[in-house]
Structure 1
Amino acid sequence: MAVELNHTIVHARNNRESAEFLAGILGLEVGTEWGPFVPVATGNGVTLDYASFPAESITAQHYAFLVSDDEFDAAFTRIQQAAITYYADPYMHRAGEMNHYNGGRGLYFRDPAGHAMEILTRP
């Protein structure tokens, strides 16, 4: 069997809020809460298990999601409709822009806990 990433725990101030935020942007389902976790499963079977932590103990992380062009368009529309600030760069200096790395499109935005979320169409 090949080694695969199965799940990761994502620290959040409010696990439900953060899970619903990401699922809403990406057009995914929020799974059934179990124990301290609210899961969001991606199309390749990796689950982000959101867990609530005190704000001062959260270290911002980066999560990148490879999406199709149609999925990018839908997510970008939701980002714009929600008036979420997005950036072309991982340092989040170029607000209101997207990038075209590797001939695709990409952008970064922050989730409610401050994590840097990225959507991109070409790895």
Structure 2
Amino acid sequence: MAVDLNHTIVPSRDKRASAEFLGEILGLEVGKDWGPFTPLETSNGVTLDYMESDGFQPIHYCFIVTEQEFDEIFERIRERDLRYWADPGHTKPGEINHLFGGRGVYFDDPNGHNMEVITAPYA
């Protein structure tokens, strides 16, 4: 039996603005609101369903992309003057990592969620 992730709920202060922020950075199109959710679907069919919420703890989300997509995403991060780090603890500012033969970068979304983009899966 195959088990795949279908969707996850992403708490946010402003669901539309949050989904649009990540959609613009990753180059993904934000879907139409569905009930209390604003969906952002990845290329493998997993949906991040943004929902407005109060008092949540930031969560970590990681996206695997091609080398070319990484270049495009990283350029959008820099164009927007977003702070970025090479590590999840944010101790290496202004750097990317080169783990497992790939590249990776961390940045925060407007809600403080720790977003990661990598080109090679971690072993």
* TM-score grouping bracket, smaller chain normalisation: over 0.9
**Secondary structure at the residue paired with 1:21?**
helix
Q: Percent identity?
A: 56
Superposed CA deviations along residues 10-50 of structure 1, whole A, max 9, x for unmatched, are: 00010011100000000000001011100000010000000
Q: Which residue of 1 aligns with 2:9?
A: 9
The offset of 1:78, in angstroms, is 0.3
Are 2:47 and 1:39 equivalent residues in the alignment? no
What does residue 68 of structure 1 align with?
66
Q: How many residue pairs were aligned?
A: 121
1:92 is paired with a residue whose SS is coil
8 Å CA contact retained: 1:9, 1:48? yes
In the TM superposition, what is the alpha-carbon distance from 1:111 to its structure 2 partner?
Answer: 0.3
Per the alignment, residue 95 of structure 1 pairs with 93
SS of residue in 1 equivalent to 2:73: helix
> Counterpart of 2:30?
30
Task: Please report how far the alpha carbon of residue 93 of structure 1 lies from its aligned counterpart in structure 2 after TM superposition.
Answer: 1.0
Within 2, Cα distance between the matches of 1:95 and 1:20? 24
Show the counterpart of 1:52. Answer: 52
Unmatched segments (≥5 aa) in structure 2: none
Q: Is the 8 A contact 1:84 1:109 kept in 2?
A: yes
**Of 85, 92, 117, the match for 1:119:** 117
Q: Can you list the C-alpha shifts for 1:44-96, whole angstroms capped at 9, x where unaligned?
A: 00000000112xx1111000000000110000000000000000001011110
- The CA distance in 1 between the partners of 2:73 and 2:32, in whole Å, is 23
Q: RMSD of the alignment, in Å?
A: 0.6
For residues 106 and 116 of structure 1, what CA distance do their matches in structure 2 show?
A: 13
Letter in 2 for 1:116: N
- What is the letter of the counterpart of residue 117 of structure 1? M
Structure 1 stretches of 5 or more lacking a match? none
- If the length of structure 2 is used for normalisation, what is the TM-score? 0.97
